[in-house]
Structure formats: structure tokens, C-alpha cells
Amino acid sequence: MVNVKAGLSKQYNRLFEIVPPAAIRAVDIKLSAIPDIIRLTIGEPDFAVPMPVKEAVKTAIDNDDSHYAPAKGLLPLRQAISTYVHERFSTPVYDPESEIAVTIGASEAIYDALSALFNRGETILVPTPTFCFYQAEALRLGLNVVEINTAPNYLFTAEMFKQAMADHPEAKGLILNYPGNPTGVTYPEETLKELAQVIDQTDVLVMSDEIYGELTYGRQHKSISAYIPEQTIFISGLSKSHAMTGYRVGFIAGPAALMKMVCLAHSGVVTTAPTPMMDGALAALTVAKDAPAAMRDVYHQRRDLVLAGLAEAGFSAPKPEGAFYIFATIPDFLNQNDEEFVYELGEQAGVGAIPGTVFGDGGQGHIRISYAASTEDLTEAMRRLVAFSQAARAEQKQAQA
């Protein structure tokens, strides 16, 4: 253990003071201490990485493909990304040489875009509730974050964009995330098209995090870059689609003029991504490109299982059409302070969830349930939730009687 010198105890970036440490992880760590808890907290698939991906990484290791890759990533991987995102998500055909970079998960992609493309003090619109990472990173970079509450439908509509621009004509950027974390809501094609049309009338740069694009139920995901390619930075990765969270492979694409700056940020932060993992990613997007479909079917069943359990327990929630989260309203016979409620639920019912408040404006009074857990765990968690809820309701009735 090393003490810091007295004169250095305040030697840090002041912008880091205004942002709390990653709230989702903090809650998860605290809840993990409860014995026998079932954690529906983290957005982490319980599946194994598809076998062809594992084999490709091991072959790369055996072949000593262990040297520095080009800063933007292995070229065959960038070529595969270009084809894949165009075919699957209707993106424009990005040039692998100048318009795509491989990053350390979508996290680094978001950070690179925010740090490279905006100046301190510039305003970014962030529709909420959403993944709290965006606001945290933007604030640490000194950007001005304007949250726009999209409750109760959780769709950022053309009307909302027009209103936001009327209120904040200085806005330079917009962060979209769909299918959305924490709500699971995604865009009907017509709604997306209308939003793109009004954005097209402005010079607002869209950073579109479409990491859950492979996880849509009953519809094909379409990227907003299909409509407004000249002002979209497309962000995705393999963590969710191929259960490759720990492999840390993301990617980012956009117009070459902007990607030039994004790549400066990327190489300046990490030099390049790990080479063997990129060999694995190439397999994911080629021989294993249909692997997400099988997982999607299982998630679909789990979603319905959890929705039924929540309804029985008195929680209401929009039916998610993508991702693996349900954003549920806490019923009025339970503690509607979500930050208190998740600990009651953890301690008394043995079920772990994330409080809605951490996802920004519109999240109060909600919990996020991740159904990227095993079917067995989800079944038991719903049984516990229903029992907990029924007991609370009974207790309340008794008190009123």
C-alpha cells in the first residue's frame, strides 16, 4: 500500500469529479455480496463463444500471429465488417481502408468518437433512459450533455428532435442507442426514417450505437446510417451478438474525413486491438455469421418468460423488441424509490436488478432486468419476484384492513 504525497492528493482532472464511478457495476458489486442472489444485473450473455471463433483465436496463437496489427485493425477483418454491416444492417458500403476501425469493444468506439469529434463545451443530445456510459464519458471530456426524457414510449421521435433543437440550437451531436439499453425498445422503420429526415435538415452528428442490432425479435434491424450516412458514426461490436464480451472486439465506421480523426484517437489510446482476437472476430463475421440467430431464439423465449413473471408480480413494462433487457415500472404497492428498492429486492427476494435512475431522466421508479441469464435462473428469479410481490401486497392489504 502506497500513500500519495500530501501535495498530490488533489492532482487529478477536475472533470472526473462530476461523474460517479460506473453505477451499474457499483450496484452489481454491492448486490453480489448477498448470498444466493440471482443477478439479472449485467448485460452479459451466458452463452459460450461460437466454436469457429474459438478455433480461429487458437489457430492465430499457434501460428504466432502475435505481432502488432495495423492501427485500424487487420485489413481482412475490416473488409468483413464492411460487408457484414451492409448486408445485415443496411449501412452504406464503408471503405475498409479509410472508413472502419476495430476497437476495444463498443466502449472504446464511443470514447474515440466523443474525444475526437467534439470540442470541450459543445453540446450533445442524449435521449434517456439510456446506457449511463454515454453521459459519463461525455461529461469527463468536458462536453455539455442535454438529456431528453423519452418516457413512456422510449423512442426519440422526429418531434422530440425538433423540440430539442429549438431548445438547444447549439447542439452538435446526438447519441442514439437502439435496440436500446435499458428499455429493449427499437425503432419501427417509419419512425426511424422520419427521425433521419429531420436530422438531415441539420448538421448534427449522430453517433449510433447499434450493438444490439443482431438481437431483434420479429424484425430486421436497420441502421440510421442507411438514411443519413454523411452525418452518422456507426458503432457496433461482437460482445452481444456473438457472446464475446471478454474478447473485447468492437468497431466504428463513418465518413473518411471524420474517421481520420477517430483513428487518431484510437491509435493514441490503445495503439491497436489484440491481433488474435481480431482473427476470432473475422471468423465470427464469416463462418460464424449465423451464430446470433440461435441465441436470439433463446433470448426471445426468455423475454416472454420474464414478461409473464413481471406481469404476475404487478410490474408493467413495454414489450421489448430487441436487446435483452426489460425496463419495468415498480408497482405502487412496492417501494417506488428504485435506488432503495433494488436493495430490498436483493436482500428480501434474492433477485438482483439495476435501478432505473442510473439510466438518466425518465428512469426513476423503474428497474432494469437483464434476461441474458440462463433460463433456469430466470425461472427461479421470477418465482421469487412473484412471491415477494404477493407477500408485499398481502401485507399492505392487511395494514389497510
**Residues numbered 162-201 forming contacts with a copy of itself, rule: CB under 8 A:** 172
Shortest separation between residue 336's beta carbon and a copy of itself, angstroms: 30
Shortest separation between residue 394's beta carbon and a copy of itself, angstroms: 39
Residues 28-67 that bind a copy of itself (CB under 8 A): 42, 44, 48-49, 54, 57-58, 61-62, 64-67
| CB-based contact 275:343 (threshold 8 Å) | no
Q: What is the CA radius of gyration of the chain?
A: 22
Shortest separation between residue 325's beta carbon and a copy of itself, angstroms: 16
Inter-axis angle of helices 291-312 and 375-400, nearest 10: 10
Stretch that binds a copy of itself, among 98-106, 152-160, 299-307, 345-353 (CB under 8 A): 98-106
Three-class SS state of 81: helix
Which of 170, 203, 297, 395 forms a contact with a copy of itself (CB under 8 A)?
A: 203
Report strand pairing: 325-329 vs 366-370. Answer: antiparallel
DSSP summary character for residue 216 = B
In the complex with a copy of itself, the residue whose CB is nearer, 155 or 224, is 224
Three-class SS state of 210: coil
Stretch that binds a copy of itself, among 5-13, 154-162, 213-221, 294-302 (CB under 8 A): 5-13
Per the DSSP assignment, residues forming a β-bridge with 252 are 101, 235
Cα gap 255→249, rounded to integer Å: 21
Which of 85, 101, 104, 288 forms a contact with a copy of itself (CB under 8 A)?
A: 104
Nearest to 196 by CA among 163, 161, 149, 228: 228
Residue 129, preceding bond cis, omega within 30 degrees? yes
| CB-based contact 254:206 (threshold 8 Å) | no
Stretch that binds a copy of itself, among 86-94, 178-186, 216-224, 320-328 (CB under 8 A): 86-94
Report if residue 133 touches a copy of itself, rule: CB under 8 A: yes
Binding mask 260-279 for a copy of itself (x = CB under 8 A): -x--xx-xxxxxxxxxxx--
Residues 331-370 that bind a copy of itself (CB under 8 A): none
In the complex with a copy of itself, the residue whose CB is nearer, 35 or 120, is 120
